[in-house]
Chain A
Amino acid sequence: MLNSYLTQIRMNLLLTLRNRMALFFSFIFPLIFFFAFSQGSGGGNGQQIVNLVLGLGVLGSGLFGVGMRAVQDREQNILRRFKVAPIGPGEILVSGLVTVMALQLPNMAFIVFLAHRMFGAPWPPQPISLLIFVSLGLFAFASIGGIIAALVNSMQEGVLITQLFYFPMLFLSGVTIPIAIMPAWLQTVAQFIPMTYFTTGLQPILRGTESLLDNATAASALALTAVLGTFLAAKLFRWEKEEKLRPAAKFWLLAVLGPFFVLGSWQMHAKTNIAKAKVLGREAQRSRTALIRDARLFLGDGTVIDQGSVLIKDGKIAEIYTGPAPDAKSLRADAIEAAGKTLLPGLIDVRVHLSLPGFPINDPQFYQNPDQSFDRELAAYLFSGVTAVKSAGDQPDMVGRHQAAIASGERLGSELFPDVKATDEAYQPALAALEARRAFQAGRTDLLERSLVQQVIPRQWFAQLKDAMKESARPEIIMNPLAPDLARKNLAEAYAAGRLLVVGTESGYPMVVHGPSAHRELQLWAEAGIPPAVALQAATYNAAKLLRADQRIGLIRKGYDASLLLVDGNPLQDISATERISTVFFKGERVDRSGLFEQK
């Protein structure tokens, strides 16, 4: 019995190694993929490439390996010969499967090795979990391929139907196209696809952040599909092409996908796997290695480096180079050319009111879904290069929820700090809020003409905003007694007295727009005679100190979060340069600013 299995596997291996096409698809193809992707991505992300190549390998060799071989052998009357020997379909299918594993697993280990040698990708920290999970995936996809093979009548039909499974799994599972950028309905559809669960399991296991046990649901679903599929494929096995199958037998295919139908239906409500897929997509972005080259560096504590480069790796600042930039390729990093630009720590706004819109608006829809407003506002901060904010007076449970969604990476937005009493005495003049209040009372609309403001206010509301401003103008009421001159003078005195200055904008009040107001605040400080470097420090290092997060943010320093703002020009000479945003980095991710407001 064992001997017949072993001989079967040995011969399968022998025949595969003699088959040029099979060799190409099993060995050369993944390598081509590997090198093509690593060239395309500039080598900044070895682990991501491994993830992709392994995913494609498991899916492709699983689906096509065992099943198509059986169809071909049946079509060429080879299986007929086995039919009269004392060997059953189970033995043929299982040894086919073991053959695929024996071919693919060493191949995959080689890819991991290559990525380690060439791109410095770390060794998988959980090799046993990885081995088991990859084997389960191969087993499951092979059994789906096996059941397709059992149901089709010809090679042509087999290839067609297998491709019908292959392509959706390839494109909708998140292995090639991130789930986060799909429309919500497609994200739900993706939860019915087995490959999705393989992808959301493989990535964290490869990285070592999760083990097999953390992915027990996905692993069991794969295992169940594998066992069910192999069992049914053996039951429906046909030795000869002349044998016909009852048409109703085709429904067995659905039974094999049953576990994923159950998972998908559950996910329609729970959505946990969609969230996980988004987090994984985020982590993949954050784990990229990039070198920002030849920028002017404002380190946050007032220090300026005229020509310097910053290496970002795994979400942190890995190295700071002074003078001419090193070669990005030798550091296995994506190069970001920043000559003529200034790199600052991401700005921090220590006083914002997320429950308030920041502009007068009569649209009841806006107030119906405060969660949506929070999302949009936190996106507006990140869009404006403000990478951390502290909430003031918002509902704690909502703040906690959004803080968690951003911290996990499920959503992309500015890092949110809850409203806890600051112990340090710090001076927050909030000049922008004063200016806005006066403008609002007077019905003045000039603040809406600023470019950054126009970029963050949703189009559908912008048109009506000026009218709303005029309607709600109350020139007769003096709401704030503090005159601008006095406020500027107070700030200058506080500076002179050496008090800790921080930027807190009170954003959310009418015309104190979430995001751009931090920049306006800096400009008003400069007008009050505060040196740009001092103002910038108040919006970075000092603010981080107030948030008690200065061991992690607020500085460009090795080991700190890579939450950075790259702007055109030199804000140390002209503070308004902070608004001319070139790139925002958040925890190592190069933020796709235009996509921030379109997150699903």
Chain B
Amino acid sequence: MAPVIEVSGLHKAYGDFEAVRGIDFDVSEGEIFGLLGPNGAGKTTTVEILEGLRSRSKGRVKVLGFDPEVSKRSLKDRIGVCLQATNLPDKLRVHEALEWFSAFYSRKADCNKLLQRLQLWGKRNDFYSKLSGGQKQRVALALALVNEPNLVFLDEPTTGLDPQVRLEIHSLIEELKANKRTILLTTHYIEEAERLCDRVAIIDEGKIVALGSPRELQERVFGQSRIEVVTAHPMPVEVPVFEAVAKYSLSDDCKTMVVDSTRPARTLPDLIKWIDQKGLELEDIHLKRPTLEDVFIELTGKKLRD
């Protein structure tokens, strides 16, 4: 089956400034694909080219089989888009907003079902201005779904929302995935990408610096895991050399030790055995994988957010 989105050699220049400098990726049906990168990396430009809102300078783009630059209307009719920082008129009721937008599309979702699914049923007669931030964001998501799109673009869907609401939106997105919709998600929240995305492309300065599942990315960059051990009594300073351990460090009170290992499955029992032998009484032991944030910093030398 052909990919839902195909991008190859995509360039976009504004005068002398090249915002996008040769991007290639495909998104297959039913996948949640994440574009991760700091502000100004070229995420939004890329997405807007895919949505048919912007022309490209060079490269090949196919979305749902359409060239977005040529078949803008047909494409817009088939996709759902949730932009960041959009508004609706204050005195518009929630259900009216859905009716209004569904009038533009050839395929229409059942607005009542949509309202129920997005937990907006109780608010359907409220004015837009009376909604909370999370409710407004749910309305924006609902509007992106009024045409039952197979492909949904979510541009930073949780930016500016409090953690509780963010979790709610995350579960809604997971529900969409369960309904076999393809989702292109841009975000600069690492946890969001880690939790939701099947694959992530990390964009920096107009280029994809890494692409793969969050897990693959972490392993490709570090190829090792971190083990943290906490004991009731101070550990001896001389630690034996374990197999596959690259590095270890001890806290000041000598009760916490961090060990980086390329084969954690082998190192873990070695460590437990050693603590037992020394009679140090194990309080806690856990395995940590490096986060995407670490990956990002490693790849770009930048932080995602200031």
A residues near B (Cβ < 8 Å) are 3-4, 6-8, 11, 14-15, 18-19, 73, 76-78, 80-81, 83-87
From the candidates B76, B83, B91, name the one contacting A81 in the complex (CB within 8 A): B83
B residues near A (Cβ < 8 Å) are 51, 53, 73, 76-77, 81, 83, 85-89, 91-92, 96, 99-101, 103-105, 140, 143
Q: When the two chains form their complex, are residues B99 and A85 in contact, meaning their CB atoms are under 8 A apart?
A: no
A14 CA / B95 CA spacing, docked (Å): 13
Q: 5 smallest A-B Cβ distances: which pairs?
A: A7-B103, A84-B81, A18-B91, A86-B76, A81-B86
Q: When the two chains form their complex, are residues A15 and B91 in contact, meaning their CB atoms are under 8 A apart?
A: yes
Shortest CB–CB separation between residue B65 and chain A, in angstroms? Answer: 16
Contacts A85-B76, A86-B76; is A78 near B100 (CB within 8 Å)? Answer: no
Which residues of the partner chain A approach B73 to less than 8 Å between Cβ atoms? 86
Contacts A81-B86, A81-B143; is A4 near B91 (CB within 8 Å)? Answer: no
Q: When the two chains form their complex, are residues A87 and B86 in contact, meaning their CB atoms are under 8 A apart?
A: no
Contacts A77-B85, A80-B85, A81-B83; is A7 near B99 (CB within 8 Å)? Answer: yes
Which residues of the partner chain A approach B77 to less than 8 Å between Cβ atoms? 86
Shortest CB–CB separation between residue A238 and chain B, in angstroms? Answer: 12
Q: When the two chains form their complex, are residues A81 and B87 in contact, meaning their CB atoms are under 8 A apart?
A: yes
B92 to A, closest residue via Cβ: A15
A75 to B, closest residue via Cβ: B87
Q: What are 28 A-B residue pairs whose CB atoms fall within 8 Å in the complex?
A: A3-B103, A4-B103, A4-B104, A6-B103, A7-B100, A7-B103, A7-B104, A8-B103, A11-B100, A14-B96, A15-B92, A19-B91, A76-B87, A77-B86, A78-B86, A78-B88, A78-B89, A80-B85, A80-B86, A80-B87, A81-B87, A83-B53, A84-B51, A85-B76, A85-B104, A85-B105, A86-B76, A87-B104
**A81-B83, A83-B83, A85-B104 provided; 16 other pairs, C-beta below 8 A?**
A6-B103, A7-B99, A8-B100, A8-B103, A18-B91, A73-B89, A77-B85, A77-B87, A78-B86, A78-B89, A81-B88, A81-B143, A84-B51, A84-B76, A85-B101, A85-B105
Q: When the two chains form their complex, are residues A78 and B87 in contact, meaning their CB atoms are under 8 A apart?
A: yes
A15 CA / B77 CA spacing, docked (Å): 25
Shortest CB–CB separation between residue A298 and chain B, in angstroms? Answer: 67
A11 CA / B92 CA spacing, docked (Å): 8
Q: When the two chains form their complex, are residues B104 and A86 in contact, meaning their CB atoms are under 8 A apart?
A: yes
Which residues of the partner chain B approach A6 to less than 8 Å between Cβ atoms? 103
B144 to A, closest residue via Cβ: A84
Chain A contact surface mostly:
helix
Q: When the two chains form their complex, are residues A84 and B92 in contact, meaning their CB atoms are under 8 A apart?
A: no
Shortest CB–CB separation between residue A300 and chain B, in angstroms? Answer: 67
Which residues of the partner chain B approach A76 to less than 8 Å between Cβ atoms? 87
B146 to A, closest residue via Cβ: A85
Shortest CB–CB separation between residue B99 and chain A, in angstroms? Answer: 7
Q: When the two chains form their complex, are residues A84 and B89 in contact, meaning their CB atoms are under 8 A apart?
A: no
A239 CA / B12 CA spacing, docked (Å): 20
Contacts A84-B51, A86-B76; is A15 near B89 (CB within 8 Å)? Answer: yes
Shortest CB–CB separation between residue A55 and chain B, in angstroms? Answer: 30
Which residues of the partner chain B approach A84 to less than 8 Å between Cβ atoms? 51, 53, 76, 81, 83
Shortest CB–CB separation between residue B44 and chain A, in angstroms? Answer: 11
A76 CA / B86 CA spacing, docked (Å): 8
* B51, B83, B99 pick with most chain A CB within 10 angstroms: B83
Shortest CB–CB separation between residue B111 and chain A, in angstroms? Answer: 13
Which residues of the partner chain A approach B92 to less than 8 Å between Cβ atoms? 11, 14-15
B101 to A, closest residue via Cβ: A85
* A6, A77, A85 pick with most chain B CB within 10 angstroms: A85
Which residues of the partner chain B approach A14 to less than 8 Å between Cβ atoms? 92, 96
A85 CA / B140 CA spacing, docked (Å): 12
A73 CA / B87 CA spacing, docked (Å): 9
Which residues of the partner chain B approach A83 to less than 8 Å between Cβ atoms? 53, 83
Shortest CB–CB separation between residue A56 and chain B, in angstroms? Answer: 27
Shortest CB–CB separation between residue A156 and chain B, in angstroms? Answer: 19
A86 CA / B91 CA spacing, docked (Å): 23
* A3, A14, A86 pick with most chain B CB within 10 angstroms: A86
Which residues of the partner chain B approach A19 to less than 8 Å between Cβ atoms? 91
A14 to B, closest residue via Cβ: B96
Shortest CB–CB separation between residue B147 and chain A, in angstroms? Answer: 9
A73 CA / B92 CA spacing, docked (Å): 13
Which residues of the partner chain B approach A77 to less than 8 Å between Cβ atoms? 85-87
Shortest CB–CB separation between residue A15 and chain B, in angstroms? Answer: 5
* B96, B101, B143 pick with most chain A CB within 10 angstroms: B101
A6 CA / B103 CA spacing, docked (Å): 9
Which residues of the partner chain A approach B53 to less than 8 Å between Cβ atoms? 83-84
Shortest CB–CB separation between residue A96 and chain B, in angstroms? Answer: 13
Which residues of the partner chain B approach A87 to less than 8 Å between Cβ atoms? 104
From the candidates A4, A7, A80, name the one contacting B83 in the complex (CB within 8 A): A80
B77 to A, closest residue via Cβ: A86
Which residues of the partner chain B approach A78 to less than 8 Å between Cβ atoms? 86-89
A77 CA / B85 CA spacing, docked (Å): 7
